Each structure stands twice: as structure tokens, then as C-alpha cells.
Amino acid sequence: ILHRQGSALQRIKSGEKIHLLTVIGQSVFGLEVYKELRKEGHTIVGVFTIPDKDGKADPLGAEAEKDGVNVFKFPRWRLKGKGIPEVVQVYKATGAELNVMPFCSQFIPMEVIDHPAHGSIIYHPSLLPRHRGASAINWTLIHGDKKGGFTVFWADDGLDTGPILLQRECDVEPDDTVNTIYKRFLFPEGVKGTVDAVRLIAAGNAPKIVQPEEGATYEGIQKKDNAKIDWNQSAQVLHNWIRGNDKVPGAWAEVDGQKVTFYGSSLLDSGATAIGQPLEIPGASQPGLVSKAGLMLFGNDGKALLVKNLQFEDGKMIAAARYFSSGSSASVELTEEEKTFGVWKSILTNVDAIEDSTDFFKSGAASMDVVRLVEEVKLRASGCQLQNEDVYMNTTFQDFIQMCVKKLRGEDDEEELVVDYVEKNINNMTIRMPHQLFVNGEFVDAEGGKTYKTINPTDGTAICDVSLAQASDVDRAVAAAKEAFEEGEWGKINPRDRGRLLYKLADLMEEHQEELATIESMDSGAVYTLALKTHVGMSIQTFRYFAGWCDKIQGCTIPINQARPNRNLTFTKKEPIGVCAIVIPWNYPLMMLAWKTAACLAAGNTVVLKPAQVTPLTAMKFAELAARAGFPKGVINILPGSGALVGQRLSDHPDVRKLGFTGSTEIGKHIMKSCAVSNVKKVSLELGGKSPLIIFSDCDMDKAVRMGLSAVFFNKGENCIAAGRLFVEENIHDQYVKRVVEEVKKMKIGDPLDRSTDHGPQNHKAHLDKLVEYCQTGVREGATLVCGGKQVSRPGFFFEPTIFTDVQDHMFIAIEESFGPVMILSKFKSGDVDEVLRRANATEYGLASGVFTRDISKALYVSEKLNAGTVFVNTYNKTDVAAPFGGFKQSGFGKDLGKTYNKTKTLL
């Protein structure tokens, strides 16, 4: 079959199309097939998909509606086994010549299947005739097949029994799950294969090969009830069963009297041993072992497998290694002697009887009682070292006694933070970098062990593999953040203790500042000296600044009309909002993290943060430092991964209450829509900019040249507030250009870790390519390229500092942001202040701006008229943690830093 298809594909003539085609199906898979068919030039006369769910359209239907294609959303096609006449009539009216069913969960009547001239084809995720039915991928794994793949076949009224048109196969890896094999092969190759099948039909070369009965199998849909684990099998069979049911419906067994579902199975080598705590599992050949690596399970052949995650009946998921600390064994059994230990009974004299649930503070205890309680315990139990915070975190009698006994037994030691470091000797130091997700206080692998390589822009080589978060990882992180906010100790900590943790974190960041700056320089290309001073230095300042705000967030009282005879008091109370999602860019990886995270934490929120996929490493190191500072589990979660997956899931997640995003205007608009549709979550956006800088002839020329260069080339031009366009008064224009060109030519381009380097590499290859294209566009439009404009001839992603003059207002480079080291210069007529203001404001952006003049009246007038969130006067790039920062118009809304307000203009 494969040989015949290959020959047929080579015979397809270009331009052969099927003019009238319908797509019947759903999901992102259906969407991708639809998009590829349109690219091929096929005319799609209708898309039939499922009805909207919770007000949200299926991706296939949503895309087709945007394209103006007729979309039909019938809840069903058949009733009692027969086609619904009205539905069939609507379908036939499309005049389709072929039905393509890339992923279809509905039963389609045969009168629809057989109606088109070319019939109907359907995608199936197995090598038919093996594994017919809806759980084909599951059974491929459960049966331990070495080969998997997909089939495109001609639909009929059987259970995937129609003639075969096309098949493609792949190897099944030993630890593949439904998710990994689907994403690695069945999805991307399935889309291509379905489109290839349509090509074959269009060319008249599509085979119809009757399925053999030999080797045909059919097994029912995998459901939770029949996914129970039978332990009387080999380790290989157990592994296949668990991974074949991962993530849906989930293989489960009874443990400690409740259903526990197992995820993330991997086979262990025959000689693998583990030290761990035994866990009795009914029916298993021997107890499991809970170790640091996970839960080791054993087959009846004595061989072992390891599962990484467990889920309980209430939906809570934990790392398997945490079973005894986070699972069902939370309380401590007290001895008779220990049960008599209750110092606080003598303090709460106004309470008749103290039960386990009696609350210390609700029963009338005060701050001095806390001190007295702590000191009495220390005297009567010399081995028990208490702090005042221990009382605040354990307010009921049972919790307090449990905590004291744990301390006396020496069981309260904090678990050691397990970090799988990548170590590198660089910049005259050894740096140790975490590279896994940070979820609920632990560094963990992404679902399926997914990773990607983060690249050093200085030479284009890979730094290390980083865990690539999946949608399920987002759900785990949000659940952890929600639990930490609603149930954990974070919600009980008083504001000053929150501030103490933030101060401690800032101290740890300062202690590791050289390491952080080196990681930042290596991962983002920032010049080390700048990374040390700004990327890291301002991050430390940010956490210290917001640490001071923790106990100063206040409400107010409001005078209202009295409703006599009653008198009323009205007051407001500012409260944390809950789980905050943060999506940050790649130009200032650590600083953008600090700007947004510090404020969220100071207010008492919890955080799930997605660093830019190309610059994740300082965020991972930050996670380690936060854990070592003592932040409770779940308060801070870091998920490196793609924006399309992780960022989208955070935007859509119903338990996220606020999303802060820094990035492009295009993505910002998409995020706003998703946040509105999901749960109307609050949003703050810091988006694109095209910041104007106006230089008048009465300026301090030396300063204007120096600061103008900084305005454009600071951080390699990868700066959201970079001066995207300079307006220079015509009588000094030529002199100004000459001066800046002289200075640009002095810049040393090179290794960012070299202390003498002025200009490092651009952040990543795709951005470098965009800069080259941007400058080529400027030249084509007629702007004068004075210098630069091309990639530097050396390894890495280096781009020459560039200057354009004679830039007219209509040109692309005058309108669009380069986000790179490109100076755009335009003249304006001498003395025409209002005209240059009109040109400067003729943009949809409004992030920052600047003016250079010695005339204070002119400076105030221009700064008032410029439509930007920040106006720099006779300086540029001067930001401070106490000054609110954010934009107007399509540069976004909301403010970072300072004591922010809805709309603020900052003059510096």
C-alpha cells in the first residue's frame, strides 16, 4: 500500500483541485486539515462541526466562520439510526463533491457518506484493520504494539471497515503515552496524510484496498470503570496498561481505601533498586515503594516500573514521591503522654472546654498570649523550638499540638529541595541552572517528559534541555496556586511576614546576582554588565520596593447619607484577587518577571508564570531562590513552554483571576478575547510601541547624542520603550546625524560576557531574520541606509547597529516597531512644534516618548501633548521601581511598578 501511494503521489499534476468539498469534524486536528486544504486551493463549501460548548465555538468552526465559509453546527445527524431529513437536506444543498472527516465524533448517515461524487474519507489513528474503534490509540499501547500509525479510509457503515486509501506508520517508543505518540506523529503526520489523500483523489489515483479480515481487532471504548489495574501481570503489561490509559480515562487501583489513578509510567531496568517507604497495594505481588523518584510498582515477574503522578478521588493530583506527605497520611498519631501536652489550656481561661477544633484567636487570645504560649512551650519542652509564626499558622488546638509533637520528634524539618541542575563553568564561575518546571514547590518534568533546547544567541549552540509544559501541567500549576491561596498557609500569613519573605528573596537574589546575570547574558544575549546592573539589579530593587508595600495596602471609609434613625458606616477593604497568571517577554526575562510577580505577591496573590520560551533559565533559577527563601508551596509556579499552548491555557483557565502580559499588540488582543470569553478575568497589557523622541535645536547636543544612542541601542534595541523614531529639527539634523554615526561606529560588537562589549547578539534567530527583512523594506521604500542593516559575519545572532535617515511618515519603518538596534531619523521644520507633535502622535501606540530642549516651557507643553504613558525630558530610559510604567492606546493598559492608577503619565 505504501509503495503504491508513493508512486501515485509523484504522478499528481499541479493545479488539480476538487472544486466543492466539505469538512465534517471538529478539534484542532480538524482545524489544521481545513487550513491545509484551503492552502491547497480546494473550495470548501461547508464545514459541519459540533455546537458551541459553554459559549465557545470549536476551533474548526471558529476558523471557518472567520474565513466566511458556511458553518453548520448540528447536535446530531441521525435519530433512531436514520438521518434527520432537515439536516441531510441542508448538507445536500452544499453540492459537495467530497466529504473529508478528519476527526468526527458524530454518527453520519450513509445517505450523506455516499452522496458526493467522490464519496467520503475519514482519518483513523491506527493501522487498520488492527484496532478498529474509538480507543484505537489506547489499545495500540495497551497491547504493546511496536508499530503504530494512522489510516485514511473510505467511510462506510461498518466500524472503520471501509476500503483503505492511505496508511503511514511509526515506531512506538517504550514510554510513549497517548499524548506523546499523538503529538509526535499522529497529529502532524495525520494532517499531512489527510491532505495527501485528497490530492490522490483529485488526481484520480486514490486506491480502494479492501481491508483484510486477518489481524482485524475491535475493542470497546476505554472508560474509567474498566480501567482498573489487574496487578497479577508482568511489569511490562502493567506499564502498557497505565500508559495506554494516560491521561484518559486513567488507570486506577484501590490504595488505602480510595481510588488512586496512576500517570507517567516508565519501565525500569532489571537491576533497578530504590530506597523508599513501602506502600501496601491490594492485589499487588509486593508493596510499592515511595521514593524521591516516584512510586515504584512491581509486576508478578519481579520487574519494576515507576509512576510519576497520582490523582485522588477528589481530583487532587500530587507527585507520587509526595504520597505520604501530601496524600492520605497528613496527621500524626499521638501517644498518651503527648496527648496531655497542651500548654495553651492555661492561657484560655475563659473557655470552659477545649476541643481539637478550638481556635486560639477566636477564643480571645491576643498577641501577648502568643508570646507567652511560645515561651511556655520552650520551657516545658526544651527540644521544641517555636516561633510566633508557628502559632499563627496553626490556630486550632489539634493543629498546634500536632505541630509541637512533630517538632519534638524531629519530624518538622523542611524537605530538601531536589534540583536537577545543569552546571556550566563560564564567566569565571560555576553556574547551576534548574531546567524543569516548578510546580507546587517542586521541580518536575513536563507531562510525557517533553523538553526543548534553549539556545545561546552568542554562538547558536544549545545551552541545555528545558522541560516543555503541556496543558495538563498548566492545570496542575493553577490548581496548586489556587489551593495555596484558598487553603494553604499563604492566605494566613500576615502582611508583614509576606514582606519579610519578599525581602529575604531579594537578599538571595543579590547573593546570587553574578550567577543570575551570567545566566541572563548567556540565555538572552544581554551584555553582562547591563544584565548585572539593570536586568538583575532592578529586579532586586523591585522586590525590595514591593516588600515595603505589603503592610501598607489600605482601604478607606466613605461618607454616605444616613438613613435615620440608623447611622451607617461604609468602608472598603482591598483584598488579593487570587491566582494571577503572568506571561513575560524575552527581552528582559528576569526584570519583567520581577515587575509583575513582586506586586502580585505583595498583595497576597499566588502566581503561575510563563517565561518566554526562548529565555526560561533565569525564571527557573528564580524559582529555586524563592523556594529557598521559604515561600510556601504553590505560591510561585514557573512553566516554560509555548505561548500558543501554555499562554492560551492560562488565558482560558477558569481559576485564573488576573492575567498580566507583556508582548506584542497582536497577541495582547487575542489574550483579551480569551480572558473575556473564559471568565471575564482582569487583564493588564504592556504591548508594542513606536516611541517618538523629539530633539529641538536648543537642546544640549552632547546629551541629546548620548541619550539618543541610549534611547535606540540600549539592550541591543530589544527594549519596549526604545525610541522607535527620532524627529530632529532641520537646522541641526545633519550635525546630529554625523555625531550619532561617529558614535555608532565606535561600538564594540562581541561576546556579551566580555566586559568591553557594547553590543551583544540579538535574542534569537527568528528575530534576527525579521530585523534583516525590516531594513531591506526600509531601503526598498527609499529611506537612506547610513550604516548597518545586515547580520554581522560571525557565529551567533549578531546584527549591526543601524541608522536610517530621510524616513517619510508613510514608510513601513516609520510606522512599525523594529524592536532592534535601528535608529529611524526624520526632519521637522524649525520652530514648528505643533506639526512635529501631530506627526509624533500619528501612531496607534503610546508607550513612551521623549523631548530634548533647554526651554522649560516648550518641554512642559510638548510633554503634555505627547500621547504616551511615559515622557522623558532631557533623558531617556530612566525608569525606577517607584514610578508607574505603562502605555496608552494599543500599547496596552494597566501599570507596572509604583503606586499605580488607571491612567498615569510619568514625566522623568
- Alpha-carbon distance of 33 to 684, in angstroms, equals 35
Answer for the pair 893, 665: CB distance below 8 angstroms, yes or no.
no
Report angle CA 440, 444, 446 to the nearest 5 degrees.
110
Q: Is 234 annotated as a binding residue?
A: no
At 247, which amino acid appears? K
- Cβ neighbours for 731, distance < 8 A, ≥ 6 positions apart: 697, 830
- Alpha-carbon distance of 587 to 662, in angstroms, equals 10
Q: Is 258 annotated as a binding residue?
A: no
Q: Is 541 annotated as a binding residue?
A: no
Answer for the pair 800, 747: CB distance below 8 angstroms, yes or no.
no
Q: Is 632 annotated as a binding residue?
A: no
546 SS3 class: helix
From residue 587, alpha-carbon distances to 611, 819, 880 in Å are 11, 9, 18
- Is 675 annotated in the active site? no
Catalytic choice (720, 729, 733, 775): 720
Q: Is 611 annotated as a binding residue?
A: yes
Catalytic choice (42, 118, 124, 759): 124
Q: Is 862 annotated as a binding residue?
A: no
Report residue 126 as a C-alpha cell: 491506527
- Is 512 annotated in the active site? no
Q: Is 106 annotated as a binding residue?
A: yes
With both helix axes pointing from N to C terminus, report the angle between 59-66 and 27-39 in degrees, rounded to the nearest 10: 30
Q: Is 293 annotated as a binding residue?
A: no
- Is 338 annotated in the active site? no
Report residue 777 as a C-alpha cell: 523594506
- Alpha-carbon distance of 27 to 56, in angstroms, equals 12
Burial class of residue 208, CB neighbours in 10 A (0-12, 13-18, 19+):
exposed
- Alpha-carbon distance of 109 to 112, in angstroms, equals 6
* Alpha-carbon dihedral angle through residues 671, 676, 678, 682, given to the nearest 10 degrees: 80
From residue 725, alpha-carbon distances to 32, 422, 803 in Å are 39, 42, 11
Sign of the dihedral defined by the CA atoms of residues 771, 773, 776, 778, in that order: negative
- Alpha-carbon distance of 696 to 730, in angstroms, equals 9
- Alpha-carbon distance of 324 to 329, in angstroms, equals 5
From residue 730, alpha-carbon distances to 114, 454, 824 in Å are 74, 46, 15
Other beta carbons within 10 angstroms of residue 666's beta carbon come to 11
The 3-state secondary structure of 94-146 reads: CCCCEEEECCCCCCCCHHHHCCCCCCEEEEECCCCCCCECCCHHHHHHHCCCC
Answer for the pair 509, 535: CB distance below 8 angstroms, yes or no.
no
Catalytic choice (63, 447, 686, 718): 686
End-to-end CA distance of the chain: 72
Q: Is 664 annotated as a binding residue?
A: yes
Q: Is 781 annotated as a binding residue?
A: no
Helices and strands in the chain, H and E counts: 29, 40
Q: Is 552 annotated as a binding residue?
A: no
Answer for the pair 608, 545: CB distance below 8 angstroms, yes or no.
no
Q: Is 107 annotated as a binding residue?
A: yes
The 3-state secondary structure of 808-866 reads: CCCCHHHHCCCCCCEEEEEEECCCCHHHHHHHHHCCCEECEEEEECCCHHHHHHHHHHC
Q: Is 613 annotated as a binding residue?
A: yes
- Alpha-carbon distance of 813 to 775, in angstroms, equals 8
Q: Is 324 annotated as a binding residue?
A: no
- Alpha-carbon distance of 799 to 801, in angstroms, equals 6
Rounded to a whole number of angstroms, the CA Rg of the chain reads 32
Q: Is 817 annotated as a binding residue?
A: yes
Q: Is 443 annotated as a binding residue?
A: no
Q: Is 647 annotated as a binding residue?
A: yes
Answer for the pair 269, 306: CB distance below 8 angstroms, yes or no.
no
- Alpha-carbon distance of 110 to 107, in angstroms, equals 9
DSSP 89: H
DSSP 346: G
List, by residue number, the catalytic residues: 124, 686, 720
Per the annotation, where are the binding residues for (6R)-10-formyltetrahydrofolate? Answer: 106-108, 160
Per the annotation, where are the binding residues? Answer: 106-108, 160, 584-586, 610-613, 643-648, 663-664, 770, 817-819
Per the annotation, where are the binding residues for NADP(+)? Answer: 584-586, 610-613, 643-648, 663-664, 770, 817-819
